[in-house]
Amino acid sequence: MFSADLFANAVVSGLLLGGFYAAVAIGLAIVFGQLDIVNIAHPAFVIVGSYTAYIFNTTFGFDPVLVGVAAMPLFFAVGVAIYRIYYAAFERTGQESLSGLAFFFGLMFIIEVTLILVYGVDYRLVSAGYSGNTLSFGYVDLPLRMLVPFLVSLTLTAAIWLYLSRTFMGRAIQAVAQDRGALQLMGADPVRIKQWAFGLGIATAAVAGALLIIIGPVEPSVGRQYIGRVFAIVVLGGMGSIQGMLIAALLLGVTENMVSTFYGPSWAPAVAFGVLLLTLALRPSGLFGR
């Protein structure tokens, strides 16, 4: 039952999967990790990204990744609008812990049901030139439908990391997470910075969604399986640290793949949640926290 090539393939495809998870989690790492906004609707936006890629791919034949990148500004604008509502209705009045959470829950639900009403519960998929190809190195297989999302995700992660650490706005976003007061002294408006960061977080969902539908077919409720995954990754990665997030994503991908290879795929969804519950119980500051 146990064999070296099975094991090697499980590790490699786990790494590919985990790399892709980073793209889904990075938006939440910014929004939840840095801004402390518990956007449980994030995976729902990722699904919207998938359907956007699906529509443009099936109608015009555009490459899904390109569609994802091109849709980023639109997603950004939607994110800004949502943050404005969130700020005005909940954050300003100190209601974020109860009503704010319920707000995102409602939003998630509306997105999911709307997609079901419009597109039904059938699985949708995209076609790209590389979808069916596989690179092989010895007995390790690298299917392109996994490798492309992996590479795009790493690029996205690197770009966000550079943005946060090298640009003025990026540093301001990190500063807002540390100390609101200090930022105000610098003359920067924390609400504007948070709105920008929230928009950025949602914008990454456009790309993540495109990657998701390259990997496999998507239907509206798939997003829910990602809620536990993304929160597990962000918490395990130490809240808001991009490097920590990436390592946590890779770890989760490998663990999930091991479990589904050796125990059966029906157990895989529980892995993320098990990891999350264990992290919260034993090490809430994450793997790399103090």
Partner 1 sequence: MRGWGFWAASAAVLAAGVGFTELADNPYYFNATYVVLQALIMAVAWNILGGFTGYVNFGSAAFFAVGAYTTIFLHKAFALPLAATILAAALVCGLIGLGVGYLTLRLKGVYFAIATLAMGIVLETLVNNWSFVGGAKGTYMLTPDQHLWFDSYSEMLFMVMLVLALGAIAVSRKLSSSRIGRGLAAIRDDEVAAECSGVPTLRLKLVSTTVMGAMMGVAGAPYPYFVTYVDPISAFNLFIAVNSIAMPMIGGTSHWAGPVIGALLVGSMQEIITVTISSELNVLLVGIMLVLFITLAPQGIVGLVRKHWKKRKA
Per DSSP bridges, beta strands 134-137 and 140-143 are antiparallel
Q: Are 207 and 252 in contact (CB under 8 A)?
A: no
The verdict on 98 binding partner 1 (CB under 8 A) reads yes
The verdict on 6 binding partner 1 (CB under 8 A) reads no
The verdict on 97 binding partner 1 (CB under 8 A) reads yes
The verdict on 262 binding partner 1 (CB under 8 A) reads no
Name which position in 101, 154, 175, 287 contacts partner 1 (CB under 8 A): 101
The verdict on 45 binding partner 1 (CB under 8 A) reads no
Please state the closest distance from residue 109 (CB atom) to partner 1, in A: 4
- Please, which residue, 62 or 273, has the CB nearer to partner 1? 273
Name which position in 109, 123, 139, 262 contacts partner 1 (CB under 8 A): 109
Distances (CA, A) of 290 to 107, 201, 225, 250, 285: 34, 26, 29, 21, 7
Site stretch for partner 1 (CB under 8 A), options 66-74, 143-151, 156-164, 218-226: 218-226
- Please, which residue, 110 or 135, has the CB nearer to partner 1? 110
Please state the closest distance from residue 99 (CB atom) to partner 1, in A: 5
Using CB under 8 A as the binding criterion, the count of chain residues that bind partner 1 stands at 41
The verdict on 251 binding partner 1 (CB under 8 A) reads no
Q: Are 6 and 261 in contact (CB under 8 A)?
A: yes
The verdict on 117 binding partner 1 (CB under 8 A) reads yes
Measured on CA atoms in the order 54, 55, 56, 60, is the torsion positive or negative?
Answer: positive
The footprint of partner 1 on residues 75-94 (CB under 8 A) is 85, 89
Phi, psi of 256 (to 5 degrees): -60, -45
The verdict on 258 binding partner 1 (CB under 8 A) reads no
- Please, which residue, 145 or 229, has the CB nearer to partner 1? 229
Site stretch for partner 1 (CB under 8 A), options 9-17, 57-65, 204-212, 266-274: 266-274
The verdict on 228 binding partner 1 (CB under 8 A) reads yes
- Please, which residue, 3 or 97, has the CB nearer to partner 1? 97
Q: What are the residues binding partner 1 (CB under 8 A)?
A: 38, 40, 85, 89, 95, 97-99, 101-103, 105-107, 109-110, 112-114, 116-117, 221, 224-225, 227-228, 231-232, 235, 266-267, 269-270, 272-274, 276-277, 280-281, 284
